[in-house]
Structure 1
């Protein structure tokens, strides 16, 4: 029964916005099937039809208490949210605990990441901007992938090797961490017997968890936390019957002690499912703890669990920018003009690598540019950093210029987008 309950809590498509035109490539083998005929080494790619390229990538894995080898299921709902924002989405499956015991599942997700990075150019993915997200056992997998970068024992030899398996940011929903403390952390009203030889955790590690603490420690994301880890957000309901809320408390305290980068959203009244974690009825009541560089902030209702806020967190972790403004000026003469553009980072995280896009309303045509590589297709203009000016610190700005021809009206572009987010135009 426990396995059935855990396997039933996936991503609800009720959160998905209207369908968005994408290219979907299904059942890509990132490694040979093991065992033969199984699905644990397959992934689906959902590629957006809009936005800049190369694209940031969001990897998704649906939790199942490690009982399913089809964790890529559910990525379509995630893609319907993030494809319109310019993200590619990869739904990744890993082997079930019945097919292979830990650390096979971590080896698998890292093999998938390596395959995606090795093939980034083919699918126009940005190999420096990989994010990962998952729920329940998928949340555990997210935390393991985010925190264990560079740990040789967690890499394995599955599939593509010799390529980095690192991700740059992660978001995990109600993932287990220290299996040995789960029973003690169960709700007063009860919970699963995690110490049972038949529990999901025991089946994952291949032994009753209390009899093999060394193996369980290797399966604990906290083991790998240090100050060099990418930013990680994790969310947990205080009324979680299946994975105790205290599991995320332990993880947060460990990352804080290591001076790492974590955001912990604790939602009152929420059980083990995303619709409850994201229920607007809880907005303003959740406790949000953030630790960065050994400095902590604690607030109530300061970060509502919404897709928009998750996207902002991912963009910050991927150093794409979370807010910006543009100053646009021109010097006009007969039939031609010079343009000057200043991009300012008004967010709190740095931008590493930027692309500014806009569309002309008339017949303007760019002939040359400086401090950026500027291309034009029809009325669409794309300006990419020149390499030497790719970094924009919070509160800082970069400037570039261009020369262009124009006849008739020469209206200011209606909208500018920096790394696919809208930048308001301000006066110099």
Structure 2
């Protein structure tokens, strides 16, 4: 299907969708111009006329290029082939942070049974990676996020990297379907244990032949345990998996909270990398998971390299905290400091910039940006590639200096012309993170 390209201001309609996925107006950044490419067919439609092999791309107008990518899929108990819906709201949050966002649809369980849905998401990831240069995406920085069955799809994509049986032959092949980090909301992880974990007040009959899980795998789940095992994210956990953050409400009526407990315990036993946020009183809804009234009461379990920490009230479920987690998993760093110095001549000056990584995770690839207050014009640079448009400057690493470990620094310099005052730029950013100024 032919892609439709437009330039849009994501405003009132996006705010409506933000509410649907749990984003209040207080969390939403200002509206921003972004390029939107809709209804891209990453594979031929199956069946003809269906929507399960389409994706939408939301590309930020500013920020580092190539861009990190966040893939979004909306949950529907596997009943919809329009999982890309709602990605505009996610883009409204993450585009201003320099992330490209892809809303991806997969086939519904009525159109195809498992493993079709996993084949589809991996095909979409392969297509996005194969076309990364066209859309200025960083093929080494792919993140994925979703809720409910979208959370299941997130966990399957995150945990099953390298599993040949789940690659399929849909669409583009011969390209990696790996992602570097995942973020999932209230996902099922072990279908056969769901009924036993239902709330005392009740829940869905997941063992029913008509349950979402039975319809997904094509048989009543208790009658086909081998097939069900292949559909459980739990099956694919090992110590080499990318970092995964998952959240679950303790009052979830549809997908028992115990499903995330099982997954966390499996990842911990495998010495994997996971953070599990357990929210008291929250049901199967992002607005309840992210309700500020719950802040300070959630239990946060983190396991890395067979070392566990458990705390209460840390890592509030907020979009800024989610962005920090994704940046960390993508090795973009989380905080920075910039030292700036100049030496003046007659109508010219030289400048030096030192970027220090003050975060706890490496920065792998960086772009520093700032805005002049006068008529400064850069004429040459070293240890960087500089682009200047008007008063805005973008300085990208030169390759050999792309890595900045925690506590480490990289420097670059430039020559420029100027008339009149030559004030220090008011603000420097690195990878869309505002840096502090060194004294």
TM-score higher than 0.5 here? yes
Q: CA offset at residue 377 of structure 1?
A: 2.2
Pair 1:148 & 2:160 matched? yes
Structure 2: tracts of 5 or more residues without a match: 1-18
> Would you say the 8 A contact 2:376–2:422 is kept in 1?
yes
2:218 aligned residue:
206
1:4 aligned residue:
none
Aligned counterparts of 1:64 and 1:216: Cα–Cα separation in 2: 19
1:196 match: secondary structure: coil
Q: TM-score, normalised by structure 2?
A: 0.93
> Would you say the 8 A contact 1:129–1:167 is kept in 2?
yes
2:16 aligned residue:
none
Q: Indicate which of 38, 41, 45 corresponds to 1:33.
A: 45
Aligned counterparts of 1:18 and 1:373: Cα–Cα separation in 2: 30
Q: CA offset at residue 98 of structure 1?
A: 0.7
Q: Indicate which of 362, 384, 393 corresponds to 1:350.
A: 362
> Would you say the 8 A contact 2:274–2:304 is kept in 1?
yes
RMSD between aligned residues:
1.3
Q: Indicate which of 376, 379, 383 corresponds to 2:391.
A: 379
> Would you say the 8 A contact 1:179–1:201 is kept in 2?
yes
Q: Indicate which of 135, 143, 146 corresponds to 1:131.
A: 143
Q: CA offset at residue 141 of structure 1?
A: 0.2
Aligned length: 419
Aligned counterparts of 1:360 and 1:207: Cα–Cα separation in 2: 64
2:3 aligned residue:
none
Pair 1:77 & 2:89 matched? yes
> Would you say the 8 A contact 1:10–1:273 is kept in 2?
no
> Would you say the 8 A contact 2:22–2:290 is kept in 1?
no
Q: Deviations over 1:210-243 (max 9, x none)?
A: 1111111111112111121111100000000000
Q: Indicate which of 44, 49, 54 corresponds to 1:42.
A: 54
1:273 aligned residue:
285
1:327 match: secondary structure: strand
> Would you say the 8 A contact 2:23–2:287 is kept in 1?
no
Q: CA offset at residue 348 of structure 1?
A: 1.1
Pair 1:258 & 2:270 matched? yes
2:14 aligned residue:
none
1:120 aligned residue:
132
Task: List structure 1 segments (4+ residues) > 3 angstroms apart after TM superposition.
Answer: 12-19
Q: Indicate which of 299, 302, 325 corresponds to 2:314.
A: 302
302-311 or 43-52, which deviates more: 43-52
Structure 1: tracts of 5 or more residues without a match: 1-8
1:239 aligned residue:
251
2:378 aligned residue:
366
Q: CA offset at residue 10 of structure 1?
A: 5.9
Q: Deviations over 1:359-413 (max 9, x none)?
A: 1111222222222222322222111112111111111111112222222111111
1:6 aligned residue:
none
Q: CA offset at residue 18 of structure 1?
A: 4.5
